[in-house]
Structure 1
């Protein structure tokens, strides 16, 4: 039976290559790809990610080859992303403690959350696609956190790319609030790669300037004294496999991340990159 991979994309802009890389690897293996967004809105690629002439300010060079730009645009304009699953329709929202009859509300919430284990049985892995969009609607998305936790409990691999890795740092069991990447080795968008100005999002006329938080600092804290953040600054690629997590630093790591996901699923790879 074909393996099935669940891809999570932001509704505020994904980076073209960061979807294309893992998706190409999955397509090559004959895996079935299923897409989901926070509210079921069709995801759209960030315009700079489709432009081979766009020079990434921190790196001082183009990060998108003409070939990748064409392939990413074709994917973005195809029908594959037309009808994503809505996380809002699928996964309940944790009620406030101030809600009427909060104890009954929480009991109902946990009953619904318990069904996620059955819901994800058909999936073999989770991929959180990167870009600036995840800063807005994925990093602190409680529904996504519950989904990530369900995959971890099921011992299934979870891929995080670029700023999509933030969702892994913030996904925590409600009781102890301890990051699920505590004690793990991860990579992610390092401080050297952050924009000083120009962080933008699809559908929002707003220049945030730099990202609202430095992901590297969050990952360093979230992994704790027994884990480690690996920026690998100066190295062309940075992908870390510390099962069940597969983390990718940024755009140039997208295809390698896809390859490593296949190795995890097909060959039992458990460690790579450090």
Structure 2
């Protein structure tokens, strides 16, 4: 049976290779790929991720090959990303406790994001959260994204995330006990050495945030807790970690390997890799 993957993209910019790496792997295997964004707006690649002449400040070299830039442009110029699922239209967000008739609204919310959402994602085999700076804005602390990840987790499905998309895993947690779903797990993600000192930018705004608003490495170290571990693998060209059901990729160079390992989990039963 053909595998089906849901790919979640930021509306404030994704890093081109972090989409193309896994997507090209899924396409080669004939997977059915569906895209989603927070509000149903088309996602676009961050301009530096299309530019082979862009020098990444922390690494001091280009991180975009001409071949990858070409692949990203082909997707950008196609209609493939034109009509993503809108998470805002798919299911509700948790009501404020201050709202009128809060209990009835909470019951309705729980019906939508419980059994009903589980049924809606039954056709999917995996989810992937693509990285870049955009997820900092509209994915990392997005309650709907968290609920979607929790639904995949409840259903025992594969959950992939790259770069700053891994923040979604750290922040996704059950409302009652509020422990991160990656507590006790092994993950990788954007390490402190790779963070910009300045120039963290986004699409649809001229705002330069300077450095990232939070060091993802520190959050992942805390979220995994004493029984898990964050693996930055700084100094190693590739950092991809599989601790089932999670497949995490550190940053741009790890994108193709992330796709490969998601496929290995789906097709070959891989449960552990990279630690």
TM-score range, shorter chain: over 0.9
What CA deviation, in whole Å up to 9, does each residue of 1:180-199 have, x standing for no partner?
00000000000000000000
For residues 1-274 of structure 1, what are the structure 2 equivalents within 5 Å? 1-114=1-114, 115-274=116-275
Cα RMSD over matched residues?
A: 0.5
Q: Measure how far apart 1:91 and its partner are.
A: 1.6
Partners of 1:104 and 1:67 lie apart in 2 by 53
Structure 1 segments unaligned to the other structure (5+ residues)? none
CA contact (8 A) 1:16 1:76 kept: no
Tell me how many residue pairs correspond in the alignment.
274
Q: Measure how far apart 1:101 and its partner are.
A: 1.4
Structure 2 segments unaligned to the other structure (5+ residues)? none
Partners of 2:268 and 2:111 lie apart in 1 by 35
Q: Measure how far apart 1:112 and its partner are.
A: 1.1
Q: Measure how far apart 1:111 and its partner are.
A: 1.0
Q: Measure how far apart 1:223 and its partner are.
A: 0.2
Query: Under a length normalisation based on structure 1, what TM-score does the superposition of the two structures give?
Result: 0.99
Partners of 1:77 and 1:7 lie apart in 2 by 18
Query: Under a length normalisation based on structure 2, what TM-score does the superposition of the two structures give?
Result: 0.99
| Runs of 4+ in structure 1 over 4 Å off | none
